[in-house]
Amino acid sequence: MERVTLDGISLTLAHPADLPLKWIGQEEILRQLLAAWMVIDDRDIPFNPRLIGKPGVGKTTLAYAAARTLGRKVYLFQATMDTRPEDLIVTPVIGPDNRIQYAASSLVTAMITGGVLILDEGNRMSEKAWASLAPLLDDRRYVESIITGLTIPAHRDFRIVVTMNEDASTFEVPEYIHSRLQPQIYIDFPEADEELLILKENLPFADDAILRYVVNFLQRAHAADELYSVRDGVNIARYALKMMKSGGGGKEELLSLAVERILGEEALHYLDRQAED
């Protein structure tokens, strides 16, 4: 368990994330994110980009892949409507000797070590939580811990990216925070060929016919502006494969059943019935 001492106060650092995520396709979006983090002069500072899109389009995967491209440690903070300012910065905990110790959040750990922080689903947080990050997100680049009295500056190599589901906001993000979270990078559903590659990456043991069936289903749903994502497609194919392995029926029948069980009966409307005939 790694610790650092700032102004006489010992902080326990969070562990970096080690996720089995790989970004496939849409290289231009990856380039845009990396450009936002770039520093081109000693007087320059990085942007604090936000990734916006429907659930399941790969916002977290993109952020993780970009951070790994830089060779940095990656830290993940999952925002919720209950996130408090102290959760974002430093939290007091009871140590083994029953004394109060201080735990640095994943955000503060990334700030101290020069890592990358992915603030996931940031538009679920309240304004009070966002207010504690205001000085970090402008040219001051620090946070203040009310709990410890520390002012914690960000390492020059520190980077942050915020993901936001465009349809799942619990709170309105304050305008003064919006202006600090730039640029906005929008991620849409992938094209059919990219979607097939993603399915193959996640399900290398599945045959092409099954994966193409699922891609055709997803593309029909995308065209109708449904929220079904490639993550749903992976789950559909995986469940169908498991049922086939258990001897549950024919391929098309089980794929159709998997769609219904994963997404509900209304999703059957987007099946390619001709492919089943």
pLDDT digits (tens, 9 = 90+) for 216-235: 999 999 999 898 999 999 99
Size (the chain), residues: 277
Give the residue among 86, 74, 85 at the shortest CA–CA distance from 120. Answer: 74
pLDDT digits (tens, 9 = 90+) for 128-186: 999 999 999 999 999 999 999 999 999 999 999 999 987 655 678 899 999 999 999 99
CATH number for the domain formed by residue range(s) 3-186: 3.40.50.300
Q: Which residues, in sequence order, are CB contacts of 3 under 8 Å at separation 6+?
A: 10, 11, 12, 13
pLDDT at 250: 84
| Residue-by-residue DSSP string for 162-223 | EEEETT--SSPPPHHHHTTS--EEE--PPPHHHHHHHHHHH-TTS-HHHHHHHHHHHHHHHH
Looking only at the bridges linking them, the beta strands covering 90-94 and 100-104 are: antiparallel
Comparing 19 with 167, which gets the higher pLDDT? 19
Q: Where are the beta strands (DSSP E) in 54-109?
A: 74-78, 90-94, 100-104
Give the residue among 185, 12, 158 at the shortest CA–CA distance from 90. Answer: 12
Decide: 24 and 197 in contact? Cβ < 8 Å. Answer: yes
pLDDT at 276: 44
Whether residue 277 has pLDDT greater than 50: no
* 3 state DSSP class of 61: helix
User: Cα separation of 223 and 272, whole Å?
Assistant: 13
Domain ranges (residues) in the chain: 3-186, 192-276
DSSP symbol at 36: H
| Residue-by-residue DSSP string for 213-265 | HHHHHHHHHHHTT----HHHHHHHHHHHHHHHHTT-S-HHHHHHHHHHHHH-G
Whether residue 239 has pLDDT greater than 60: yes
pLDDT digits (tens, 9 = 90+) for 43-72: 899 999 999 998 888 999 999 999 999 999
Question: What's the mean pLDDT in 30-47?
Answer: 95
Q: The pTM is what?
A: 0.88
Q: Which segment of 127-136, 139-148, 241-250, 256-265 scores lowest on mean pLDDT?
A: 241-250
pLDDT at 169: 57
pLDDT at 167: 65
Strand partners, 32: none
Using N-to-C axis directions, what is the helix angle for 192-202 and 208-223, rounded to 10°? 130
Comparing 13 with 55, which gets the higher pLDDT? 13
Token pair in block for residue 185: 């990078």
pLDDT digits (tens, 9 = 90+) for 83-123: 999 999 999 988 777 788 999 999 999 999 999 999 999 99
Strands of the sheet containing 74-78, edge to edge, are 74-78, 116-120, 159-165, 50-53, 184-186
Decide: 126 and 14 in contact? Cβ < 8 Å. Answer: no
pLDDT at 82: 93
Comparing 248 with 207, which gets the higher pLDDT? 207
Question: What's the mean pLDDT in 27-41?
Answer: 95
Identify the band that residue 247 occupies on the pLDDT scale cut at 50, 70 and 90.
confident
Question: What's the mean pLDDT in 229-245?
Answer: 94
Token pair in block for residue 244: 């086939």
